[in-house]
Every structure is written in C-alpha cells, then in structure tokens.
C-alpha cells in the first residue's frame, strides 16, 4: 500500500512538473515573439525617423513654415511610434516643432518692425534659433544612427587650397 502511494505521488509530481514546464515554455515563447515584433517595429520606426530628420535638415534652410508644416503633418506618426524611438529623438523633435512656431512668430514681428536696430536684434535672435534647431536636428540624427548602428555620413567638399 505504501508503495502504491509513493508511485501515485510520484506520478502526480511528474504530471505537475510537465505542466509547469509546458507553461514556462509557452510563456517564454510569447515573450520572445513579443520582443521580435517590438524589435521589427523599432527598426521600421527608426528608419522612417532617420529619413524624416534628414528631410527636416534639408528644408531648414528654406523656411520655418515648411519645417513646421512637415512636422505637423507627421505629428500623428510620431505620437504612434514614440514608444519605439529613442527618448532624446522625441524630445528633439518636439523642441524643433516648438522652436519653429516661435521662429515663425519672430519672422512676423520682424516684418512689422520698422526700427532698424530692433530689427537687427530680432534677426540675430532668429539666427540663433535657427542654429539651435539645426543642432537639435543633427543630434537627433546622430542618436538614430547610433541606435541603428550606422556611421555618420560626411559630405565631402572640394578643398580650394589643395587644388
């Protein structure tokens, strides 16, 4: 009788152990799948963000209105994908957006100002804002390149002294 109970307890423990092992494997498999999906989404979001920040850098030279329009058009995309993007990139994007709004208002004030000295001061402030936005965009690009494991793209220029 004692042997029967020991065999019964051993069988129950074995069945219970098997169930726990299957549960653990399923849990791990779900976790791995979720990490794979998140990794794919993060890669896609970073790729698109790199394209967008490069585009912003190219249109920064034109007008704050174009940049602001582009940022506003892609605001929903950023909100949807900010979970997959580096935090500093999102901060820089939002800061660029806010700075472009301020810059647009500053340009409107400059147009209405007739005082030459005041206009010069406002232009200096506007130029500082543009430089700041360029710096933020460059930093955002560097962060994405680092996240994706890409090297910086350096534009080569003809050195006039070397011929």
Domain span at 118: 31-148
CA dist., res. 70 & res. 108, Å (int): 19
**Residue 109 belongs to a domain with what CATH number?**
1.20.120
Please tell me the total count of domains within the chain. 1
Is 76 a domain residue? yes
CB 85: neighbour CB atoms within 10 A?
Answer: 20
CB 126 within 8 A of CB 113: no
Is 38 a domain residue? yes
CB 148 within 8 A of CB 47: yes
The pLDDT score that the predictor gives to residue 39 is: 85
Is 17 a domain residue? no
User: Mean pLDDT of successive 10-residue segments in the chain (163 residues)?
Assistant: 81 86 86 86 91 90 84 92 93 94 89 84 90 94 90 77 57
Is 7 a domain residue? no
């Amino acid at each position: 009788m004692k042997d029967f109970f020991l065999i019964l307890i051993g069988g129950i423990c074995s069945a219970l152990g098997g169930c726990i092992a299957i549960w653990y494997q399923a849990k791990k498999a779900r976790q791995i799948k979720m990490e794979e999906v998140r990794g794919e989404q993060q890669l896609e979001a970073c790729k698109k963000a790199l394209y967008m920040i490069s585009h912003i850098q190219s249109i920064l030279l034109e007008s704050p209105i174009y940049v602001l329009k582009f940022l506003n058009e892609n605001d929903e995309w950023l909100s949807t994908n900010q979970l997959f993007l580096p935090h500093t990139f999102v901060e820089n994007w939002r800061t660029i957006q806010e700075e472009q709004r301020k810059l647009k208002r500053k340009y409107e004030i400059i147009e209405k100002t007739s005082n030459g000295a005041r206009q010069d001061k406002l232009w200096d402030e506007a130029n500082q804002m543009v430089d700041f936005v360029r710096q933020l965009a460059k930093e955002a690009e560097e962060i994405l390149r680092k996240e994706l494991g890409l090297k910086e793209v350096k534009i080569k220029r003809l050195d006039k002294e070397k011929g």
